[in-house]
Structure 1
Amino acid sequence: MLALVERVMTTDWTQKAEEIAAVIAEHAARHDADDSFVSEGFAALEEAGFFIALVPEELGGGGASISEVAEALKVIGAACGSTALAASMHSHIVAVAAWRWKNQGAPTDGLLKRVVAEKLKLVSSGGSDWLQSAGTMEKVEGGFKLTARKAFASGSTVGNILNTSAVYDDPDEGPTVLHFGAPLKGEGVSIAPTWQVMGMRGTGSDDVVFDGLFIPDAAIAGKRPQGQWHMLFHIISMIAFGLIYSAYVGVAEGARKRALEMAKKRPVDPLLAQNVGEMENRLLVARLAQRRMIEIAETGTPGAETTSEAMQCRTLVGQACIDTVGKAMEVAGGAAFYRKTGLERAFRDVQAARFHPMQEKPQLDFTARVALGWDIDG
């Protein structure tokens, strides 16, 4: 184990990501074409120790920083957006658990140790839950029975634990969201192959269906009133989205690189130069806002103001990445419409940046409420 830790600790994650990207790039188009999971990418990441990189050294992991992993996700995203996005889902859960253990003394060390010892891959249902959550918890002796269908569960094909929540109609406190980790294999759990989508087709984001799965009382990690902000969500907002949106910056960077390679073969043209300049400006916005998200994740204090700024950055990064890839299509010209260039796949993949919480309109409302001093739960 010590040898493994030393190997991971000395990893140059950018260099390692470049090596992985070179291997998985040739598989990206196939997974996009047949809606299959990016198995080669995940195998390469596991072999490199990526899935334990954010686990603190004291718990047997690599002790990598969020910025190191975010940079790696950008590099991987330039080659295969699906691999980067699916990997970011595991990574942000680990990062949040590590932050809570270090800064709050939360008992998340057990999960982090299991990630190392059992080579667990964690899956998030946050995209289909957020503050309202979904699914029901029925109280039974010793725990609850879970009935739910969780969409957008990236990596569910190979995942071990779904980090999720569901609603319990508490007779005293009313609708209460319970948070817990649910196994992704066994009786009462099934994966519905629903992931036939526009982009990010290789993420394996199928629906996870729970039909009366027993969740013991001891597995409940937290509870909160339904639909209301809770400190856990401020922590998630502070940390998770810098990692998730690194994948999209990577997609934009990859599209920009391919577009420039094509444009350099064409004659000098002032209109082409203007399109390239606009593409460069939009990518700089994405990079700067993503960099600020990582700064917030590594140095911020969770709360409404931090959440507001992180989510402002999330909106800016997402829109700038979408704009960058759109401009890359213009720079490349009609050839961009052909699948073989990879630009039309990047164009489809980057559209998914629109749909993670908080989407632009809810973000604008939240940011305005913080600025005005209004109730953020209003």
Structure 2
Amino acid sequence: MTQTAGSTQGTTEQLVAKARAAAPVLAANADVTEEQGRVAPESLEALREAGLFALGTPVEFGGTDVDLVTLVRVLSELGRACPSSAWLVSISTGTKAHFSGGFPEKVLAEVYPHPDVRWCGGSTPGQAVAVPGGVEVTGRWAYASGAEDAHWAFLSVVSVGDDGVPHVGGALVPMSELTIDRTWRVAGLQGTGSHTVVADGVFVPGERLFEFPLGPDGGPDFTQGRPLEIVSQTVSVTAALAGAALGALDVVKAAIHTRKPPMTQYNSLAESASARHVFAEAEHMVTSGYDRLISLAARITEQLPGNDATAVQRSSLRMEVVSILQQFLRAADLLLDLHGSSAFVLDNPLQRFWRDLNVGARHAQLSTYLTTENYGLLVTGAGKPVQVG
């Protein structure tokens, strides 16, 4: 995810328009994306043609530099059509933006022959054993979203030096040198293809190794001195889920004047005062939640250049993300109540939006209980933070 505040309004509107234009292709192929467990080829091509895989690519290699507000708007448009597709764009963008700067230009020139290169990543550390010229990497990295369609993987690794001290870093590996264990069998976001990446003694040259700097506590600083960027990535993945909530709202809104409430004399949901009340409540939750997310992204963008937000401020931002997500989740439940049991028919997109939203909201970066615990520790002074960033 790119982090500067310098994108022009023209660039923003152009990218949002391109995302909106790609959305019908994503929506038309959403069922195929889910059934195949990876984004449909037609959707991948639509995203590429729209230039959305260039997000997160360094500008010197043809990438598009945008601020967080722009990214939220783009991802929400994509998620409104297919949350899995939006998720893939979000993860690839964030991984490239956060880690590309840690590698020399020679490596980046190899990695980015064109700006549409896609990355996936794995955070569970594998093992790196020193060999002449680099290391041999072995391990399994689960939840690598978009692995089957990625070009490169940034894999967390641990190596032990001659002094016995472990060094934590990352290895940038072409997907052609890795295998994939198709472990992603889940209730939602099935199309993200978040499978397990496997390496067995894969050689990685030294220039494609990355070591995390040490933080104030002497341990590895996974934020690389930019903790607010981790919060930004949390907002980015939430944007894809905002799209899911907007998509669910679209489905019910389209049926509000034609769908008949069961076992009543009403001809449509719109004739029922109670149905109008439920729809109004759900609509307000979704649209106000989206507005809050945009506002949150704008505030983070203003702070990013200095990246000097305190731990309490960053935790407070995370708490706001959690609050927004709760709005989306509650709204989706209300929309399902309103539509009735037919919403769970598998060819009804409403149930897919609901499942994608509920699974995505449990992502590690969006952990409700840990976010609340972290904030409670900080505001009471009862202990050290439990979250990174």
- Distance, in Å, in 2 between the alignment partners of 1:35 and 1:10 is 31
Question: What are the equivalent positions in structure 2 for 1:82-161 lying under 5 Å apart?
Answer: 82-96=84-98, 114-115=111-112, 117=114, 119-125=116-122, 129=123, 133-161=124-152
Q: Does 1:319 align with 2:326?
A: yes
Structure 1 position 253 matched with structure 2 position 246: yes
TM value normalised by structure 2: 0.82
> Which residue in the other structure is 1:231 paired with?
223
Q: Summarize the Cα distance change of 1:361–1:297 in structure 2 as closer, same or farther, 3 Å threshold.
A: same
Quote the Cα distance in structure 2 between the aligned partners of 1:161 and 1:69. Answer: 22
Q: Does 1:21 align with 2:23?
A: yes
- Structure 1 residue 365 displacement after superposition: 2.1
Alignment gaps of 5+ in structure 1: 1-7
Q: Deviations over 1:293-352 (max 9, x none)?
A: 422442222553453134223322332222222121112123312223211111111112
TM alignment of 1:173-184, pairs within 5 A: 174-184=165-175
Aligned positions of 1:169-248 closer than 5 A: 169-170=160-161, 172=163, 174-186=165-177, 189-223=178-212, 230-232=222-224, 234-248=227-241
Inter-CA distance 115–366: structure 2 relative to 1 (3 Å threshold):
farther
- Give a deviation string over 1:235-267, Cα, whole Å, max 9, x none: 441321222111100000010111122223314
- Identify unmatched segments of 5+ residues in structure 2: 1-9, 259-267
Q: Which has the higher helix share?
A: 1
For these two proteins, the number of residue pairs brought into alignment is 357
- Give the structure-1-normalised TM-score: 0.84
> Which SS does the other structure have where 1:148 is aligned?
strand
CA contact (8 A) 1:239 1:297 kept: yes
Q: Which moved more, 1:65-74 or 1:169-178?
A: 169-178
- Deviation of 1:31 after TM superposition, in Å, equals 2.4
Counterpart of 1:376 in structure 2 is 385
1:367 alignment partner in structure 2: 375
Q: What amino acid maps onto 1:375 in structure 2?
A: K
Contact 2:88 2:192 in 1 (8 A): yes
Offset of residue 183 of structure 1: 1.8
Q: Report whether the alignment pairs 1:75 with 2:67.
A: no
Partner of 1:185: helix, strand, or coil?
A: helix
After superposing the two structures, state which structure 1 stretch, 335-344 or 217-226, moved more: 217-226
Q: Is 246-255 or 279-288 further displaced after alignment?
A: 279-288
1:60 aligns with 2:62: yes
In 2, the alpha carbon distance for the partners of 1:14 and 1:355 equals: 25
C-alpha distance in structure 2 between counterparts of 1:250 and 1:237, whole Å? 21
Instruction: Supply the distance in 1 between the matched residues of 2:68 and 2:108 (Cα, whole angstroms).
Output: 16
Shift of 1:158: 1.3
Q: What's the RMSD between the two structures over aligned residues?
A: 2.9
Which structure 2 residues correspond to residues 271-290 of structure 1 after superposition, within 5 A?
Answer: 271-290=274-293
Q: Please state how far the C-alpha of 1:25 moved relative to its aligned partner.
A: 1.1
Q: Which deviations, in whole Å up to 9, do the C-alpha atoms of 1:203-241 show, x marking residues without a partner? A: 121110011112233222222579765432714413212
Residue 42 (structure 1) shift: 1.5
CA shift, 1:161, in A, is 1.1
**Alignment partner, residue 45 of structure 2:** 43
Contact 2:56 2:96 in 1 (8 A): yes
Aligned residue number for residue 30 of structure 1: 32
